[in-house]
Amino acid sequence: MFQLSTEQKVCEVGGVKFGGQPGDYPCVCVSSIFQKGDKVFTGKRKEGFDEKRAEMLLKTQDKYTEDTGVPGMADIVANTGKEFESFIDFVVAKSDMPFCIDAWVMKPKLEGAAYCAEKGLLDRMFYNSLTVWEQDLETEIKEIADIGVKHVLLVAFDQEDQMPSGRVTGTQKLLDAIEKVGAQFESIFVDSSVMNGPATAFCGVANKMIKEKWGFPTASAPSNGSYMDLKRFKEMWDFKGWSSTDAALEALSAFNYHDMIFSGPMAGATRILPAVAEAEAFLATTMFAETKKLPACETHPLYKLFPDFVEQLKGLQ
């Protein structure tokens, strides 16, 4: 039974809704841009980036969102506050998609969040992320609350319990820290921490547990698992063989209690969004068999890609 007994929260970032019961809204694909190794950098990172290639990546993802009904977001990766300013300005000038700010350490993330506040972009941005391993977590929470961050991702894990239950205890630790600081956020969603490709199944199980306990939208980064095997599988089957495993893992995750997936470099959007669209149509049909209800989202992939089948389903209600 896919239907959840707990009332589910629906969050909205930059006009994109996610959450709710499985099948209500399609899984959001968050694709990385400006990450280490991104081909938009043709030389040293400090020398700038290929604006035509970066624009092409954004426009292509937007087209696939329009075609499939699967929302795309940009995971903007930067090393410094100045990089965030440049990258954020570029993304918002070229696309209307929502985005997150992503950095390894706290200082540039805080600077990126502050810049979004200055530019009036907090409705469109989510903070990636608050983690259980941050040593100065309470300071980070207080800082982003003072900036006015509205949407925040929690990355939950418990090193002492690597089963799905550990993601639940990790979530509780982060929620306790937020409560201790007295911070409030408009949207909270939880990333249940990928370990490898097949262990991403733990994320699906954990996400169901988290959704049942709190009703939060849930996420993980299946691409972290599939890219661990890029070299090995390319040697076995070439790039196309590996890319099929990547698309399969993303689609399986979308089907299995994920409201959002971090889907890897934006260059992969042309294979990932169609795969996720098929999975979301599959999930919506599964939910119809259980509830006789069709998706709440009018641009859902089931409506976009299979309108004739939707009419057949309506006849069965």
Domain that includes residue 293, residue range: 24-314
Q: 14: Cβ–Cβ under 8 A, 6 or more apart, which residues?
A: 73, 96, 97, 98, 99, 123, 124, 125
160 in a domain, yes or no? yes
> pLDDT (tens digit, 9 = 90+) per residue, 125-160?
999 999 999 999 999 999 999 999 999 999 999 989
* Whole-structure pTM value: 0.96
> pLDDT (tens digit, 9 = 90+) per residue, 233-289?
999 999 999 999 999 999 999 999 999 999 999 999 999 999 999 999 999 999 999
11 in a domain, yes or no? no
Instruction: Output the domain CATH number for residue 98.
Output: 3.20.20.20
- Tell me the average pLDDT of the chain: 97
1 in a domain, yes or no? no
5 in a domain, yes or no? no
Structure tokens at 114: 């502050």
How far, in Å, CA of 240 to CA of 229, rounded?
A: 13
> pLDDT (tens digit, 9 = 90+) per residue, 97-110?
999 999 999 999 99
269 in a domain, yes or no? yes
Domain count, the chain: 1
4 in a domain, yes or no? no
230 in a domain, yes or no? yes
CA 14 from centre of chain: 14
Handedness of CA 127, 210, 297, 67 (dihedral sign): positive
74 in a domain, yes or no? yes
